[in-house]
Amino acid sequence: MRDFILANTALASPPACPEIKLRLATEITPLWQATEAFLDANNLPPPYWAFAWVGGQAMARYLLDTPSVVAGNRVLDFAAGCGIGAIAAALAGAAAVDAAEIDPVAAAAIRLNAETNRTAIGITTEDVLAGGDCRWDVVMAGDVCYERPMAEAVFAWLRRCAASGADVLMADPGRAYLPRTGLMKVAAYVIPCSLELEDRTSREVTVYRIVG
């Protein structure tokens, strides 16, 4: 998987976070074509890990701008994708950072990206939604409200984490299934993006704190 990622991505800094370098796809269609046979052979999901989605960028920017949120804390980046949020938390001084990502190729990409940025990230491919108590001080999720079943399951779990005492953050660019209650706005960013990924060249992304 490591060789596959290296062969199909290039090092780049996402627009909102020039401090961070990631292995990202330079073009979307060629990556999708290159990965089709590999993914089918290994029963893996599409390569969403190869893009720094606007929600993840906004979350990372917030942590880099407000390091006190994570400094000295145990942090979880849920559905971490390329790992940008986890890396930002580590750079901001978190005591320990875990990235949860059920896609094993994404997990390999996070490991590569963490090494590139000289950060220590613990990586789990287990379904943390099915786990027990929340063992982190800060839990964050970027851009997870694009499908109703996932949004409902994730938000219910995040609220349980908040109720247990964790500081829970969600970054969202106005996806259809963003909950309408239980959110407190803490920051907003306009993030440049590709028309291949979004329906516009920039999106306003809001970072919320979830109220348990």
Q: Give pLDDT, residue 31.
A: 66
d(CA 193, CA 190): 10
Q: Give pLDDT, residue 30.
A: 65
Q: Give pLDDT, residue 89.
A: 98
Q: Give pLDDT, residue 97.
A: 98
Q: How many domains does the chain have?
A: 1
User: In CATH, what number is assigned to the domain containing residue 191?
Assistant: 3.40.50.150
Sheet with 167-172: list strands edge to edge. Answer: 122-124, 96-100, 74-78, 138-142, 167-172, 202-210, 183-192
Q: Give pLDDT, residue 7.
A: 84
Local structure of residue 94 (DSSP, 8 states): B
Q: What is the pLDDT of residues 175-191, one digit of tens each?
A: 888 888 999 999 999 99
Domain region containing 51: 2-210
Q: Which residues contact 199 (CB under 8 A, 6 or more apart)?
A: none
Name residues of the chain where pLDDT drops below 70: 27-37, 39-40, 42-44, 212
d(CA 35, CA 27): 13
Q: Which residues pair with 69 in a beta bridge?
A: none
Q: Decide: 184 and 154 in contact? Cβ < 8 Å.
A: no
Q: Give pLDDT, residue 176.
A: 85
d(CA 142, CA 154): 11
Give residue for tokens 């994708």: 81
- Cα angle 176, 182, 183; round to 5: 70
Q: What is the pLDDT of residues 122-153, one digit of tens each?
A: 999 999 988 778 999 999 998 888 888 888 99
Question: Would you say the C-alpha torsion 97, 56, 115, 19 has a positive or negative sign?
Answer: negative
